[in-house]
Structure 1
Amino acid sequence: MQLRRLNQTVSTILLLGAMLLFSSLASAQTSFKVGSYNCPPFVIENDDGSFRGLSLLLWQQIAQRLQLEYEVSQHELEDLLEQVSNNNLQVGVSCISITPEREQLLDFSHSFYETHLAIAVKPRSVWSMVKNFLTNRTLWLVIGIVSLIACVVGFAYYRLERKVNDKLYSMPTKAGRGIEGFILGLLFITKGPFNYYEFKTLTARVITVLLAVFTTFFLASITAVLASTFTLGALTSDISGPNDLRGKRVGAKTESTASSYLQQRGIRHRTYDDLEGMMQALARGEIRAIVADDAILKYTLNHTDSEDQYSGISVLPYQFERQNYGLVLPENSPIREQLNQALLEVRTTSQWQQTLTEYLAQ
């Protein structure tokens, strides 16, 4: 009798244990924890509090292939990386750059998007444009070179023609004739060669022919230099690339790749928790430039609801500091190999290419 009761007790315990184990396995199947943070167009928060975006669509297709049921929670970037590192999250999904520093604490999937850093600026006012034009060093260097050559050419013709050419030198005073000589040299350099028969001496005519060849190339060179210097972008902003950021008020997101880039190069900058705060600071003139991911900057400008507020803000065409986005995983994640295989499969589908076009088309 006691043996029977003991067997029943053992059977009950085993049954309960099996039920608990099954329950645990079922729970494990449905509690795959995914972390994300808002980063348009890769993760976009809707008005109703739900989320969509490139990275979430990518993860959704990967999870379908791996037959994973999951739940997504939202975090700030720093907290997201920490939660993944501590194994509180199984994967982080957003616009997370693959960097050597992060690889020391985390694992990454294969890259699913290649991008680069870019700079956003706001054009100056009309007065600032005029001031920028008048204080441009290249402009004054060109003026100095042209004036010097005009003086040399004018002096040479003056010495050769002053006594025999009343047509070119008609002023009664030496100072007047000197000014005439300078004007002659200036016109020769800026307008092009004169007709050689307007000069009386053979030496002046030979110099005229030689200068005709010189001024052809000189004018072309000066035109090219001024054209590249005084483009609309150069007039409206004195920032054309990362080398121009030193000494300027620059903004970057906290704990971002852009912030690390600026810090490594000794460029002082202000950090912001989100891109919207940076854009508003740029619009108000609190900062002169924003350094961030190119795709994110362009998407924000093209899809913002505050068109008037951000009017005039543009992304410079300069590309630098290439980077790759990946899904972030805890070290030695057991699903890394399967996840990478699924990711590569998704990247080759026409659906993924179409999604990229829909979200990132300018």
Structure 2
Amino acid sequence: MRAVRHSMLCIWLFLSSLISFSLPSIAASNSTVNVGTYHCPPFVIESESQPPEGLSIYLWQQIALELGVDYNYSHHELGELLEQVSDNTLNIGVSCISITPEREKVLDFSHSFYETHLAIAVKQQGYLSSIKNIFTNTKLWFVLGIAFIAAGFVGGIYYLLEHRVNDKLYSMRSKFAQMVEGFILGLLFITKGPFNYYEFKTLTGRVLTVLLAVFTTFFIASITAILASTFTLGLISSDIKGPNDLANLSVGAKAKSTSSLFLTSHSIVHRSYESTNDLLEALNNNEVEAIVADDAVLKYLIKKAKEEGRYKGLSVLPYQFEKQNYGLVIENNSPHREKLNRALLKIRNSPEWRQTLNKYFADK
């Protein structure tokens, strides 16, 4: 009987150890999790006197609380961080790290917790350069050309209908002068809006005036919007309309970042900098004409700098491209990924997460 009990106890111990081995857990580990970070406001904000903070730090702290693990932080540059997670020196990397196929070959990622895009930042030009760019802007001249052609067409129609019977609108003696009057009439019609229909003598002219009233209302609104956009962008940079325009400019990007990889893959020669702050400094000092980085990071850093009275001439262009998804970097084939992802999804659905997003991206 004693032998039977001993056998049953051995079987129970074996099954317990097998279950605990097959279901590994971060919470079950007594070791401290080594968390690597690198400075990337507003996702990781580091200082010499304070522990790191930011959106990614908040996310990790809530995950660690949910899983019941202890951890410590260590600071790294991006390349070093990825290498140390890859060789298991670090257990997890926390910052604004984009999930890419190349990185997935040697690393694991959590689910995405933030979506952004790449963007271009430039330095606003001086007034003389801005005026020059406005007057050399092909889009502006195209719009003005359309307006003048439309004015000539409308003026020509009214000239044919009215110049013999309407001495008020066509008071000049010579035919050429009357044609100029017709063009002026058309230009006023296009830019100012419709005249009162009773200004015209012929029935056809009056009917045409009523019909054109609707058209010119929308035409003027469209022209105004296009010109406003053209003048606004002309004050920023009339030469850059998207990433394809960077090929002929001096461009900067952060070393080993997705923006650097994007520029390389599109055969755009660029300078590499160690941090986004170095990028902004280079742009502000006219070392480069444009920089490429993550949209959310650029807007946050430039906004904070302007609040401090710095980088007042820097702006992020309204062109987004190359979608980026941020995730936490974890050891390759990590057995803890499922537990971490469940905790991450739970936190992302919480009101506290939305409040934290508003804290760092209130103007988005």
TM-score normalized with structure 1 length: 0.77
Question: Secondary structure of the equivalent of 1:52?
Answer: coil
Q: Distance in 1 between matches of 2:167 and 2:361?
A: 70
Alignment-derived partner of residue 218 in structure 2: 220
Q: Match for residue 204 of structure 2?
A: 206
Deviation for aligned residue 1:277: 1.3
Give unmatched runs, 5+ long, in structure 2.
1-28
CA distance in 1: counterparts of 2:344 and 2:155, whole angstroms: 72
- State the Cα deviation string for residues 73-98 of structure 1 (Å, max 9, x = none): 22111111112112222221211111
1:270 has 2:280 as partner: no
In structure 2, what is the Cα distance between the partners aligned to 1:170 and 1:160?
15
Instruction: Calculate the TM-score normalised by the size of structure 2.
Output: 0.77
CA distance in 1, matches of 2:300, 2:93: 22
How far 1:35 sits from its partner (Å)? 1.8
Name the SS of the counterpart of 2:280 in structure 1: helix
Letter in 1 for 2:222: A
> Residue 306 of structure 1: CA displacement?
7.2
Query: Could you report, residue by residue, the CA deviation over 1:316-346 in whole angstroms, capped at 9, with x for unpaired residues?
Result: 4544433222121222123223322333343
Indicate how the Cα distance of structure 1 residues 351 and 207 shifts in structure 2: closer, same or farther if over 3 A, else same.
Answer: closer
After TM superposition, list the pairs within 5 Å mapping 1:91-102 onto structure 2.
Answer: 91-102=92-103
Contact 1:115/1:294 (<8 A) preserved: yes
Count of matched residue positions in the alignment of Structure 1 and Structure 2: 332
Q: How does 1:12-161 map to 2 (within 5 A)?
A: 29-30=30-31, 32-48=33-49, 50-158=51-159
2:185 counterpart SS class: helix
Structure 2: how far apart are the matches of 1:167 and 1:182? Answer: 15
Contact 2:194 2:212 in 1 (8 A): no
Q: Secondary structure at the match of 1:230?
A: helix
Partner of 1:25: none
Report the Cα offset of residue 219 of structure 1.
4.8
Alpha-carbon displacement from aligned partner over 1:186-237 (angstroms, at most 9, x marks no partner): 334434455566556x5xx414522541354145224313323423632322
Percentage of identical aligned residues: 54
State the shift of 1:291 in Å. 2.6
3-state SS of 2:149 partner: helix
Q: Deviations over 1:145-187 (max 9, x none)?
A: 3333444444455556555555444444444344334333433
Correspondence for 2:11: none
1:354 correspondence with 2:328 = no
Deviation at 1:45, TM superposition (A): 1.4
Residue type at the aligned position of 1:117: L
Gaps of 5+ in 1: 1-27
Q: Alpha-carbon deviation of 1:258? A: 2.1
Residue in 2 that maps onto 1:253: 254
Q: How far has the Cα of 1:100 moved from its partner?
A: 1.2
8 Å contact from structure 2 (residues 37, 95) kept in 1: yes
Structure 1 residues 191 and 254: CA distance shift in structure 2, 3 A: same
Number of the residue aligned with 1:22: none
Question: Judging changes above 3 Å, is the alpha-carbon distance between structure 1 residues 112 and 183 closer, same or farther for their aligned structure 2 residues?
Answer: closer
Q: Summarize deviations over 1:227-275 as a string: whole Å, max 9, x none.
A: 2342363232234554554534433222112222333344443332111
Q: Distance in 2 between matches of 1:176 and 1:348?
A: 72
Of 209, 228, 231, the residue aligned with 1:230 is 228
1:5 is aligned to: none
- Within 5 A, what are the aligned runs for 1:325-336? 325-336=326-337
Query: 1-side partners of 2:350 and 2:168: how far apart?
Result: 79
Distance 1:207 1:71, change over 3 A: same
Measured against aligned partners, the alpha-carbon deviations of 1:93-146 in whole angstroms (never above 9, x if no partner) come to 211111111111111122222333333333332223322332232332233333
Equivalent residue letter for 1:234: L
Q: Kindly tell me: are residues 144 and 109 of structure 1, through their superposed partners in 2, closer, same or farther at Cα, counting changes over 3 Å?
A: closer
Q: How large is the Cα RMSD of the aligned pairs?
A: 3.2
Against the structure 1 CA distance between its residues 330 and 133, is the aligned structure 2 distance closer, same or farther, given a 3 Å change threshold? same
Aligned AA for 1:226? T
2:99 aligns to what SS in structure 1?
coil
Distance 2:104 2:313 in 1: 38
Q: In 2, Cα distance between the equivalents of 1:350 and 1:174?
A: 75
Deviation, 1:350, is: 4.1
d(CA) in 2 for partners of 1:65, 1:170: 86
In the alignment, the residues of structure 2 paired with residue 47 and residue 133 of structure 1 have an alpha-carbon distance, to the nearest angstrom, of 46
Query: Is the 1:112–1:326 Cα contact (8 Å) retained in structure 2?
Result: yes
CA distance 1:38–1:173, change in 2 (3 Å): same
Q: Secondary structure at the match of 2:73?
A: strand
- Distance in 1 (alpha carbons) for counterparts of 2:193 and 2:281: 50
Distance in 1 (alpha carbons) for counterparts of 2:262 and 2:146: 39
Contact 2:195–2:209 (CA under 8 A) maintained in structure 1: no
